[in-house]
Amino acid sequence: MTYAEAQDEFEKALPDYLKHDPVSPRKLLSLIRSLQIAIEDFDPSAIESAQKRAKAERKEIATAVDELIGSLGQFSHQLSGRPKSVRPD
């Protein structure tokens, strides 16, 4: 397990323990670009071949992607100054 993987699992297990200030706009841009590159470089066939701690279920990744898309949509509306759409339940 890498340090980044260990830190990620720690943050998931104890989310309130590592509260921190929001990132700077420059850091956010860097994180977005890094995620974009990681997604573009990722081979989905690696999901089935991953072992032990590197393993994640396809459905788990799909759920995370859907949640990210929702967050990005809201953030995009905030950046553009448009009111966010309200979907009926």
Domain that holds residue 16: 1-34
| Residues 57 and 89 grouped into a single domain | yes
| Residues 56 and 16 grouped into a single domain | no
Quote the CA–CA distance of 27 and 25 in Å, as a whole number: 6
The yes-or-no verdict on residue 89 having pLDDT over 70 is no
| Residues 29 and 46 grouped into a single domain | no
Structure pTM?
0.64
| Residues 68 and 48 grouped into a single domain | yes
Quote the CA–CA distance of 19 and 32 in Å, as a whole number: 20
pLDDT digits (tens, 9 = 90+) for 25-69: 999 999 999 999 999 999 999 888 888 888 888 999 999 999 999
| Residues 56 and 30 grouped into a single domain | no
Q: Total domain count for the chain? A: 2
User: What's the pLDDT at 87?
Assistant: 55
| Residues 23 and 51 grouped into a single domain | no
CB crowding 59-85: b at 16 or more within 10 Å, else e? eeeeeeeeeeeeeeeeeeeeeeeeeee
